[in-house]
Chain A
Amino acid sequence: MRFGEFGGRFVPEVLIPPLEELEDAYSRFKNNVEFQKMLDYYLKNYAGRPTPLYFAENLTKKVGGAKIYLKREDLLHGGAHKINNTIGQALLARFMGKKRLIAETGAGQHGVATAMAGALFGMKVDIYMGVEDVERQKMNVFRMKILGANVIPVDSGSKTLKDAINEALRDWVSSFEYTHYLIGSVVGPHPYPTIVRDFQSVIGKEVKVQILEKEGFLPDAIVACVGGGSNAIGIFYPFIKEDVRLIGVEAAGKGLDTGKHAASLLAGDKGILHGMFSYFLQDSDGQIATTHSIAAGLDYPGVGPEHAWLKEIGRAEYVAVKDDDALKAFLDLSKLEGIIPALESAHALAYAVKVAEEMEKDEVVVVNLSGRGDKDLNIVMEALKC
C-alpha cells in the first residue's frame, strides 16, 4: 500500500470501498490466465509490442561517449507508451464488469489512448481535460472525438491536468458503481500507482531481454522523463534490483529559480494531493502551485509516490532539463536519426546525451523514447517562431 512513507489512500470516505474493490479485482485479474492472455494478445497485435530497442549510431558517434539505445515506445499505436496502461486497465474494467471509462488528460495522449481502448472494447468513454489544454491541443481533442469519446472541458482552478484529475475524481465519487476511473500515470490513491506501474513495466522487461541479446550485459544507465512518472517507472522497475543507474528527468521549464517549472521532486515539498502522499509544488500554505513545461505531459505539480521513494532511498537519481535544452534535443534527434521525439521524451534525451558524454565507449545508456513528436509540432513551430 505504500512505498516507504509515500503513497497511501487519502480520499473522502465514499471512495474507500471502490478502491478496495479495485485492489481486490486487480489481484484476481493478475492471476486470471484468460485475461492475461487477452492482455498479451492486444499488446502484441493491437498496440504493436514488443517495441524495438534501437541503437542510435549517429547520435552515439556525435556525442562520442557511451552507446545510446532508444526504447521505441514512440512506435506504439497512438504514438506513446500510454496504450500499455489503457489496454491493461480497460481489460481490468471489463473484468470488473464496469461499462464506462473516465480519464483525465493533459496533452491528450492518455485521453487518446483511453479513447482507443474504449472503442476497442466497446465501452463508453468520458475524458476530462482542462480548458487551457483543450485550447492548446485541438488535434488530440478531435482525435478523441473521432474515436467516439466525449471530451468534457474543465474550467475550474488552473484549468489544466491537475484540475482534470480533480474533476474525474468528482465524477467517480458518483459513478463508481458502473464506471472505472482509468488513471493515466503512476499517481493517485493506492492501488493505482502499483497497477499503472505493473502495466508499464512491460517496457523494462523487454529492454532487459533486448539489451542482453544485443550487448550481452545490462545497461549502465537508463534515462527517462518524469511528469507523473509512468514511462520512467515502467522502464526502471525491472532494473531496481540490478546494478544499473536509473535517472529520472523532470521539467525545469524556464529554470528552477523562475518558479516556472514542473520539477516536483527537485523543488517540491512533501504533501497530499490526488489521494497520495508524495512531493508537490506548493506554497507555504499547502496550496498547490501552477506549473510550466513546454512538454504538456510533464506539466503536473506532483509525482508518483514510488519515484518519491526511489529518490528518498537514493536508488534513482532525479535531475531536471529546461525547455530550451529539450527543444534542442528534439531537433537534434530529428536531424541525426530521422526520429521526431515527443517533447517529454526530449527531456530524457537531452540529459542522456550529457550522461553518455562522460561515460566510456563500451558502456551503454538506454533512453526511454516514450512518445513521438507529431503532437508537438505546433508548439515547436511557435517556439522557433517559424
Chain B
Amino acid sequence: MLKKDLLVFLTAGDPDTKATLDFMLSVEKYAIIELGIPFSDPIADGKTIQRSYYRALKNGFRVKDVFLIAKEFRQHSEKPLVLMTYYNPVFRLGLEKFVERAKESGFNAILLVDLPIDEAGAYLEVCRKFEIGTVFLAAPNTKEERLKAIDDASTFVYLVSLYGTTGAREELSSLALDLLFRAKKICKKPLAVGFGISKAEHVEKLIKNGANGVVVGSAVIEIIEKFGKDAGKYLEEKVKELSRALN
C-alpha cells in the first residue's frame, strides 16, 4: 500500500461530514488519507486531536457517518483509505459488522490505536475474512520479538516516533530515526512514521532514511481548527508543500 507516501490524518465529522469529504477530495492528489472516528476518551491523542473529536461529536457525528463519507469518497477517488479508531466503537457496533461495513464502504485498512496484537486474535481473523488490511503500532520501546509479531500482523507498520501523544512538534524526535533503522532491519512490511510530525523537513528526513510513509495529523487539524469549513484550500496548500518533500 505504501511506497513513498504522505499520509494525512483527518477526523471524520470535524466540523461536519460534508466538510470532511471536501477536505479529503482537496488533499487526495497528494496524500493517502487516514480517517479517524471521533471518540469521547482518546487517550493516545494530544490536545489538537482531542478538540477535533469533541467538535465532531458536538456537531452530532455518528459512527455510521464514517462509512457514508468513505462511500462518497470512493465515487471520486481510487486512493487507499485507512480507517483509524479506538476499539470501543468497533466492539459496540459488533466486530464483524464493523469490519464488513468498513470493507464495503471502501476502506483498505484499519488501525485500532488501543488494540495491541495480544488482544487482536478475533479481530485479525475477521479482517482476513473480509480481506481488509490491518495496521498496528510499534513504539520506540517495542522489543525485537514483538516488532516481528507486529510486522507479521500488519499490512504496514505504524512507527510511533516518540514517547507521548499525538500533536505537532517543532523538532523531529531523536527516537524516530533509531526506531526506523531498527524496524528496517526486522520488518518485511512497509513502514510509516507518525506522531509529532509537522514540517516538510521532517517528512524529507524520514523518507530519505527509508520510511515508506509519513503521517501528519495535528498539523493539518490545526488548519481545520482555524478555518473551519473553509479550510479546504489551506489544507491543500499545506499538504502539497509537505508532499513535495517526498521527492
Chain A interface (Cβ < 8 Å from any Cβ of B):
8-14, 16-18, 156-157, 162-163, 166, 169-170, 173-177, 269-275, 280, 282, 284-288
Contact = CB atoms under 8 A, between A and B. Distances in A.
Contacts of A8: 119
Nearest to B85: A286
B123 to A, nearest CB: 11
Contact of A287 (B46, B57, B141): B57
B50 interface: yes
Contact of A173 (B41, B44, B142): B44
A13 B150 contact: yes
B228 interface: no
B92 A284 contact: yes
A271 B92 contact: yes
B43 interface: yes
B112 to A, nearest CB: 9
A170 B46 contact: yes
Contacts of B129: none
10 A-B pairs with the lowest CB-CB distances in the bound complex, closest first: A286-B92, A14-B139, A286-B89, A174-B164, A13-B137, A286-B88, A287-B40, A17-B141, A12-B44, A288-B40
Given A13-B137, A173-B163, A272 B39 contact: no
B88 A14 contact: no
Contacts of A274: 41, 43
Contact of A272 (B44, B114, B138): B114
A286 B93 contact: yes
B39 A16 contact: no
A170 B113 CA distance: 13
B165 A13 contact: no
Nearest to B117: A13
A273 B88 contact: yes
Interface residues of B, number: 42
B115 A287 contact: no
A10 B165 contact: no
A284 B97 CA distance: 14
B41 A273 contact: yes
Given A8-B119, A272-B114, A285-B89, A13 B41 contact: no
A12 B43 contact: yes
A169, A170, A269, A280, most chain B CB atoms within 10 A = A170
Given A10-B87, A17-B141, A286-B63, A173 B165 contact: yes
Contacts of B88: 271-273, 280, 282, 286, 288
Given A10-B116, A173-B165, A272-B88, A287 B39 contact: yes
Q: Dominant SS at the A interface?
A: mixed
Nearest to A174: B164
B40 A157 contact: yes
Interface string B133-174: 000111111110010001000000000101111000000000
Interface string B26-62: 0000000000000111111011001000100100001
B87 A174 contact: no
B78 interface: no
Interface centre among B39, B114, B146 (most CB of A within 10 A): B114
Contact of B142 (A13, A174, A177, A288): A13
A18 B142 CA distance: 10
Given A272-B88, A285-B63, 8 more contacts: A10-B114, A13-B136, A14-B140, A14-B160, A157-B40, A170-B164, A174-B163, A174-B164
Nearest to B139: A14
30 contacts: A10-B87, A10-B115, A11-B114, A11-B116, A13-B139, A13-B142, A13-B160, A17-B139, A17-B143, A18-B141, A156-B50, A156-B54, A157-B50, A169-B43, A170-B46, A173-B44, A173-B164, A173-B165, A174-B165, A177-B163, A272-B88, A272-B114, A274-B41, A274-B43, A284-B92, A285-B62, A286-B88, A286-B92, A286-B93, A287-B40
B73 to A, nearest CB: 21
Interface in B78-132: 86-93, 113-116, 118-119
Contacts of B150: 13
Given A157-B41, A166-B43, A288-B41, A16 B92 contact: no
Contacts of B87: 10, 272
A376 B74 CA distance: 56
Nearest to A156: B50
Contacts of B119: 8-10
Given A13-B137, A156-B50, A166 B116 contact: no
Contacts of B43: 11-12, 166, 169-170, 274
Contacts of B47: 156
B138 to A, nearest CB: 6
Given A17-B142, A157-B40, A271 B91 contact: yes
A12 B41 contact: no
A16 B116 contact: yes
Contact of A12 (B40, B50, B114): B114
A163 B50 CA distance: 11
A137 to B, nearest CB: 22
Contact of B41 (A16, A166, A270, A285): A166
